């Protein structure tokens, strides 16, 4: 039986084969690499990494829409290198992770993003279908293009839900309760951003910050969300060990290190740069997750080695959604899973528990 090999199959075979993934069944023939003629949109099956998905998304989206998901600060990741261990058996690589009572195939989740119909007509509906097909969990924004009940109806796996605090928390609480009723298992409360006026979709334009203000989040708001949700509540946007400690003391079930406010303030550290301090601040009392600028499986491994329990990816998933619909979201997850497995294997780390800070070296400049 003959099989046509693509660049993606060639690379994926090394990573996910080591992880024992069923995605690699019948992929054992000698690879034949295929070139990339100019002027041609890459077929999804030939994609090698998420940067190629980005290039396709840029070609299919209007410039003003693509600008919402463009850009990446890679400097912090580029300053990190690996310290591989040799002579370690890695044949039975395992990427699975337990989060809040649920076992996940890999420590890679699809992060929240508002109004996804901007990127694909089916918006969040296609996104959750693709995430489920890629064995991943999607976090749905409260500013979605579709009602959470309809989105949950398309999901075949666990959904999480993300909300922003508002001056009037009544509508927020109702949205949280509706999301939990629809089947969302975790609620993420995003902090570090301005409060949103009622009815405004997505974070405010930076030009409006002077009128909106940026009031501090009251811990009473966290208590309201926790009591209404009755499921684990994570605080997203934490960037300091002191706030991480306070969040856990006030009942947060987990932390998501993220500089969402970095859209509005120049000079902020990137999440990966403060990750170890936040992990140390939490002291193992709650899982720490992280987002922002993750593009490769090697990025994921660096975060896991520094103490993150899992990584959120939003922009790469939206690139996949824009370029290929739900199938593109699945492809992005599979590419990242494959790269994560391959990097772990080459570093001599067969499980997530075997990753620690000795795996990476940080070069300050």
SS (HEC) of 180-194? HHHCEEEEEEECCCC
Q: Of 104, 120, 260, 363, which residue is the catalytic one?
A: 260
Q: How far is residue 338's CA from residue 326's CA, in Å, rounded to a whole number?
A: 18
Q: Using CA atoms, how far apart are residues 53 and 34, in angstroms rounded to an integer?
A: 17
Which residues have C-beta within 8 Å of that of residue 255, sequence separation ≥ 6? 234, 235, 238, 244, 247, 248, 278, 282, 286, 287, 288, 289
Q: Is 120 a catalytic residue?
A: no
Strand partners, 97: 104
243 to 157, 188, 284: CA distances (angstroms): 31, 16, 15
Let me know the angle formed at the C-alpha of 57 by 44 and 187, rounded to the nearest 5 degrees.
95
Q: In angstroms, what is the C-alpha Rg of the chain?
A: 20
Question: How far apart are the C-alpha atoms of 136 and 134, rounded to whole Å?
Answer: 5
Q: Which helix (H) or strand (E) holds 345?
A: helix 326-346
Cα 109 from Cα 47, distance rounded (Å) = 20
3-state secondary structure of 289: strand
Only one residue has tokens 């489920």, namely 132
Structure tokens at 341: 């497995």
326-346 and 297-305 helices, crossing angle to 10°: 60
> Phi and psi of 289, rounded to 5°?
-110, 170
Residues 6+ apart with CB under 8 A from 74: 293, 295
* Residues forming the active site: 260
């Amino acid at each position: 039986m003959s099989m046509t090999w693509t660049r993606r199959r060639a690379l994926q075979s090394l990573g996910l084969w080591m992880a024992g993934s069923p995605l690699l069944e019948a992929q054992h023939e000698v690879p034949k690499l295929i070139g990339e003629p100019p002027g041609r949109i890459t077929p999804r099956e030939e994609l090698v990494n998420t940067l190629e998905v980005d290039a396709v998304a840029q070609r299919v989206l209007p410039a003003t829409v693509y600008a919402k998901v463009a850009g990446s600060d890679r400097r912090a990741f580029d300053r990190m290198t690996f310290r591989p261990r040799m002579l370690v058996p890695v044949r039975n690589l395992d990427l699975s992770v337990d989060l809040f009572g649920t076992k996940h195939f890999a420590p890679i989740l699809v992060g929240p993003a508002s109004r996804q119909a901007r990127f694909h007509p089916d918006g969040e509906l296609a996104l959750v279908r693709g995430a489920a097909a890629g064995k991943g969990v999607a976090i749905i924004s409260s500013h979605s293009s579709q009602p959470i009940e309809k989105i949950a109806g398309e999901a075949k796996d666990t959904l999480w839900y993300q909300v922003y605090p508002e001056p009037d928390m009544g509508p927020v609480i109702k949205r949280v309760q509706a999301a939990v009723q629809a089947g969302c298992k975790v609620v993420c409360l995003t902090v570090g951003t301005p409060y949103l006026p009622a009815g405004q979709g997505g974070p405010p334009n930076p030009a409006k910050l002077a009128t909106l203000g940026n009031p501090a989040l009251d811990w009473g708001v966290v208590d309201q969300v926790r009591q209404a949700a009755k499921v684990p509540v994570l605080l997203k946007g934490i960037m300091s060990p002191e706030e991480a400690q306070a969040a856990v003391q006030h009942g947060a079930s987990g932390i998501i290190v993220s500089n969402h406010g970095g859209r509005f303030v120049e000079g902020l550290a990137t999440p990966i740069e403060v990750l170890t301090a936040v992990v140390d601040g939490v002291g193992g009392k709650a899982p720490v997750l992280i987002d922002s600028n993750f593009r490769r499986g090697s990025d994921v491994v660096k975060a896991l080695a520094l103490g993150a329990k899992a990584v959120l990816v939003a922009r790469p998933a939206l690139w996949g959604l824009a370029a290929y619909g739900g199938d593109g979201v699945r492809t992005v997850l599979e590419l990242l899973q494959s790269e994560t497995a391959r990097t772990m294997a080459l570093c001599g780390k067969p499980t997530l528990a075997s990753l620690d800070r000795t795996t990476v070296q940080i070069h300050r400049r």
